Structure 1
Amino acid sequence: MSNPGSETGGQTRKRVALFLDGTWNTVGDNTNVWRLKALCAARSNDGARQVVYYSKGVGTNFGEKVRGGMLGYGLDRAITEVYEWLVEAYEPGDEIFIFGFSRGAYTARSLAGFIAKCGLLRPGAALGVAQLFERYRKDDTVPTIRQLAEMPAPVAAKLGLEERWMLADAMPVPIKMVGVWDTVGALGIPFGNIPGLSRSGFKFLHTGLRVPLENAYHAVAVDEHRQAFAPTLWTKKIRDGVPANELAAPRPIASVEQRWFVGAHANVGGGCRSDLLAQRPLQWLMQKAEGHGLAFRGTVEPGADMLRAAISDSFREFAWGLYAKAKLNHPFYRIIGEPPRLFPGGHDEIVNETIDASVFDRWRADAAYRPQNLADWARRYSVDPAALTRPVLTHEPSHEVAA
């Protein structure tokens, strides 16, 4: 099996950028997904072509508003549709960039997991996308495309037909970057295992950090107070009793960052009217993409007015105020710098979690801006947000990070 890029001498053929929008979002909503897509240049600075794909959010059609927006219906189709497009567009040596907002971010991460686990089919493959997706839905006891490719010949000779077809018709491909705004993992409501409707039907989705994912960046909202929109952060598993130098990390994590920004869900991902707060998270992910070779036709400059821009009250505005009433007007506060989560035999740690300098700028400029979760973080780590002028790691505030 040839390695991606081997047919082109290691040269990039083109850069393929996939833009997946959030729940109910379309072009007219002017989200950061759409804006970044519109800014994409026809060619990179090194002369490579850039091709783009845009998908409107799950639940944008009237009949899907409730099923897609509230129950997660259609998410699997959103994943397979962009995968099918990529099968036709991809050539060995291409670099893949995937962007998403809200559940579009969840779709983006799930797509990356699909490609990491099952590879990318070659055009005209005997194995269909639907059949491959069924394999993706199975648990981790099923070998990945890379594990199949690395099997000794005597073992590979005993593989079943589907796995032999995978070796012949699919290829492991790297993903240059995944960039997402405020990943929402609320796929449904807890009605139990109702296929296509409930959360439990989506447990198979792989949204974590896998080997082929080279760079990953996540912009997260400080001021989102709907528990149904709780963020899904990247984590790493730490096993008890295993020395750090003996842990087999699935991939390097130095190229991963999850950064907090001022605003509610749609302030960070875009979509609110005349919203200045969306500028900074857009600029951050745009700069990350530029650093990895994706070129744009212009720049994004937030401006000083961002420091006092209005923050959406999504908690009280959502569902015409019915959501807040159902929650007895008790908002949910996302935990910044959350302690490790325990599981039998170890714990999960959030990967490379940072706070943007614009959050501290807002704290200094606006005496009314005192988010409870940010204040709680400051107390736990004995820091004064007003004294911080650079982005910092949440678990080590004395450690500044690149802007």
Structure 2
Amino acid sequence: MKKLIFCFDGTCNSPQDADDFFEDSSISNVLKLHAFFGGKLNSFNARKNVKRNSVNTITTAQQSFYYSGVGTRGSWLKRKFNAMFAPPYGDMDDIIANARADLSTHFSEGDAIYIFGFSRGAAIARMFAAHLPYKVKFLGVFDTVAATRGSLDLNPDTFPASGIVFENGTLGAHVEQAVHLLSLDEKRILFQPTLFNYDKRVTEIWFAGVHSDIGGSYWFDGLSDITLQFMLDSVRDKLSIQDINEIDFAGLKVPGAQDSICIDDLNIKPLVDGTLHSQIRTNRNAATLAPRLVRVNIDDAKSKHIPIIHHTVIERFNLVSGYRPYSLRDLKFKVINANGKLGKIQQGISSLG
């Protein structure tokens, strides 16, 4: 029995993010997962961001497949168009088609399937999982954004309809477990998350940070290392995870890329006081920002279930002067501690202290 892992990166994310060394930019958590699972990039075409050969293997027992994000393929104009609108005839369908082809080529009866994604890549991961005819052992996603197919909504009081890409966020009966890690501090209305429908198989947890502080892609990645570590810990008993000193960095070199992924890109150092990359808007564009609506959904609507906050939110609140997650204002929530236990119901920002 093999373990097949499918990793779908976020909008505009690709291995070339490692080239931006002098900017606050780096590779995402999805690509880091691919590396820790033993995945390779030698078959990745840097100029076109497509795979020439889909086999990425550490052993025959575990194979990882990586797909760069929406907006990383084709001409400059095509990349920009797909990044903004993700039309049904664009990158999203191409990525899913590539993943299905890899599955068809490598799947054998009894193989275990694991799927990961970030942002629109998380939406793609969930679509891919939803339509598989096989069992999925684990679905792990970072801050799902389903602002796809031109579905633009600037109303801060509405969530993106999960029917855009899902059936009311319902996890398919063939998926054993799902983990969804979410941003407390993202304010861009177009980046409202697409939540799962409440299900005992689903773990949804909110963390300090904006969208890419959860899914990664910043060089100053102390916050996204918290979520990366959480996701790795969630599958540690299921998948083979390499130590950073065991990773074959030569296998992560992309032909034609300026810089290669190196140990600096994959070093994990979670920091509760790490840089939070807040968005700043002028008064003219302030209407595009609003606090996130933190909740647990049932059929695209707020339910009676209490949302779960990660314990590092409390630690940041007590360590970083001025950190006040507005999305928790007057909100009832529970805190999951470092041992995975849930605390009592708390209410409001002041209860963090």
TM > 0.5? yes
C-alpha distance 391-263 of structure 1, shift in aligned 2 (>3 A): farther
Contact 2:146 2:164 in 1 (8 A): no
Cα distance in 1 for residues equivalent to 2:121 and 2:70? 8
Give 1:181's aligned residue: 142
TM-score, normalised relative to structure 2: 0.71
Structure-to-structure mapping, 1:191-206, within 5 angstroms: 203=164, 205-206=166-167
Name the aligned partner's letter for residue 57 of structure 1.
G
State the SS of the aligned residue for 2:85.
Answer: coil
Q: What SS does structure 2 have at the residue aligned with 1:232? A: coil
Question: Equivalences for 1:1-400 in 2 at 5 Å?
Answer: 13-29=1-17, 30-41=27-38, 49-61=61-73, 62-73=76-87, 74=90, 75-115=92-132, 119=133, 173-190=134-151, 203=164, 205-206=166-167, 208-236=170-198, 253-291=199-237, 293-298=238-243, 301-303=268-270, 306-313=271-278, 315-316=279-280, 327-328=285-286, 331-337=289-295, 349=303, 353-377=307-331, 380=332, 396-397=345-346
5+ residue gaps, structure 1, are 1-12, 120-172, 193-198, 237-252, 399-403
Q: Secondary structure at the match of 1:285?
A: helix
SS at match of 2:223: coil
**CA distance in structure 2 between the partners assigned to 1:366 and 1:63 by the alignment:** 41
8 Å CA contact retained: 1:357, 1:390: no
Q: Which has the higher contact order (CA 8 A, sep 6+)?
A: 2
Q: Distance in 1 between matches of 2:129 and 2:97?
A: 12
Larger Rg: 1
Distance 1:41 1:189, change over 3 A: closer
Pair 1:392–1:284, CA change in 2 (3 A): same
Using structure 1 for the length normalisation, give the TM-score: 0.63
Q: Deviations over 1:288-337 (max 9, x none)?
A: 1123x11111277534xx12211112x32xxxx5xx65543563111223
CA contact (8 A) 2:143 2:214 kept: yes
Distance 2:235 2:345 in 1: 26
Query: Counterpart amino acid of 1:97?
Result: Y
RMSD: 3.2
Number of aligned residue pairs: 284
Shift in Å, 1:208: 3.0
Q: What is the CA distance between 1:265 and its match in structure 2? A: 0.5
Cα distance in structure 2, aligned partners of 1:389 and 1:94: 32
Identity %: 27
Offset at 1:349?
Answer: 3.5
